[in-house]
Amino acid sequence: MSSDNHLLTGASLLGGEPTDILIADGVIAALGPEAAAHPDAEGATVIDASGLVALPGLVDVHTHLREPGREDAETVETGTRAAALGGYTAVHAMANSSPVADTAGVVEQVHSLGQASGWVDVRPVGAVTVGLAGEQLAELGAMADSRAQVRMFSDDGICVHDPVLMRRALEYVKAFDGVIAQHAQEPRLTAGAQMNEGEVSAVLGLAGWPAVAEESIIARDVLLAQHVDSRLHVCHVSTAGSVEIIRWAKQRGIRVTAEVTPHHLLLTDELVRSYDPVYKVNPPLRTQGDVLALRQALAEGVIDVIGTDHAPHPSEHKECEWAQAAMGMTGLETALSVVQHTMVDSGLMSWADVARVMSQVPAEVGRVADQGRPLAVGEPANITLVDPAARWTVDGKAMATKGRNTPFQGMELPGKVRATFFHGHPTVLDGALNTPRTTVGA
């Protein structure tokens, strides 16, 4: 009898009626009244899930794990612990490590580190260009054919600004159903930019980052994607104008998907008046009008997924003057709560919608076959149990991530992950880390 057999009683599937879920041998063995009577239920660990919402394990298309080379900021081990606590069972690790993940060797190293950690499935994202330099294509085919089986490629943090190079990348990845995830930022329009260009930047005297710097790249790239009939994914959409361009592209059948971060669903550039570098991020926090447009776009499906853009930094890179501070915020351990606060509790989305934008569609974008699956008999038991009635106060020092740069410090948020099951193994129980999957011989 497997020690990882679990019977979850009274769980609310996607916020619906309470039911029982039997997990056995890494899959969902039974649902409903049949669960307790199933032969595999004998000797299973019983977990009272009354009042908890059961979601498919969350999938993040946009995580910075920093390893190799930047272990002072984060490691695969610490980052995936944070992911498990946030309800994630899979994350896509961005390529801007040191060395850059632009070869088969580096992406295989990241993939192996993820397997060794055992907290979540780590899917490396390959760089589009060598060294993120934007001058020549990286080894896209070799990374796709590697043991890591890379399907998403991005120079995130830097825009692939050369249109010829972007076209070639889009054409190249068609051979293996890959996707180019673009960091939309026209570099010449954002040179020296410190925050969103608008009323607040004018008052503070900080160099502004205009919305058009994002929107112009998205407009160009959806047309390129249409021209070569390839898949484009737009990272961290932040403006109302970007939403309208993506809406236009989708109406014409262009193969584009888009993500929004939790912090862009809640925070605005008004916070920069504090000059606290924790609010310095790329793309910058925008206006309340942009925030509301992003929420509506997510609810309507114009924006497809939540991407955390989890970007941990050493404290010394944030506890300094604004101009010298690094850009980025942590997000894995707060994402689900922020989405509940902004989208579910506001009535804009249901828990089934949350499963779509935080699990199902992210897995489809990254082509992760065994993640984001529906909670049905025979499917992999990647399950997150969240208590929607819980309230908690964010404390960066208590988080599993090495980064202390959470913009939600001291904020009370709703919803708390109580358990995370990764291929049937509980990585999180009672809201705390349990054991990684590798320790049980999985």
| Tens of pLDDT, residue by residue, the chain (442 residues) | 346 899 999 999 999 999 999 999 999 999 999 999 999 999 999 999 999 999 999 999 999 999 999 999 999 999 999 999 999 999 999 999 999 999 999 999 999 999 999 999 999 999 999 999 999 999 999 999 999 999 999 999 999 999 999 999 999 999 999 999 999 999 999 999 999 999 999 999 999 999 999 999 999 999 999 999 999 999 999 999 999 999 999 999 999 999 999 999 999 999 999 999 999 999 999 999 999 999 999 999 999 999 999 999 999 999 999 999 999 999 999 999 999 999 999 999 999 999 999 999 999 999 999 999 999 999 999 999 999 999 999 999 999 999 999 999 999 999 999 999 999 999 999 999 999 997 544 4
Query: Is 162 annotated as contributing to ligand binding?
Result: no
Query: Is 309 annotated as contributing to ligand binding?
Result: yes
pLDDT at position 3 is: 66
Query: Is 429 annotated as contributing to ligand binding?
Result: no
Give ranges for CATH 3.20.20.140 in the chain: 58-366
Query: Is 434 annotated as contributing to ligand binding?
Result: no
Give ranges for CATH 2.30.40.10 in the chain: 6-54+379-433
Query: Is 65 annotated as contributing to ligand binding?
Result: yes
Burial of 362 (0-12, 13-18, 19+ CB in 10 A): buried
Query: Is 206 annotated as contributing to ligand binding?
Result: no
Hey, which residues does 88 pair with through a beta bridge? 58
What residues contact residue 398 under an 8 Å CB cut-off, 6+ apart?
A: none
Query: Is 223 annotated as contributing to ligand binding?
Result: no
Give the active site residue among 102, 269, 309, 353: 309
- Known catalytic membership, residue 4: no
The CATH number of the structural domain formed by 6-54+379-433 is: 2.30.40.10
CATH topology for 58-366? TIM Barrel (3.20.20)
Query: Is 64 annotated as contributing to ligand binding?
Result: yes
State residue 24 phi and psi, 5-degree precision: -145, 135
Q: Which residue has the tokens 């695969």?
A: 76
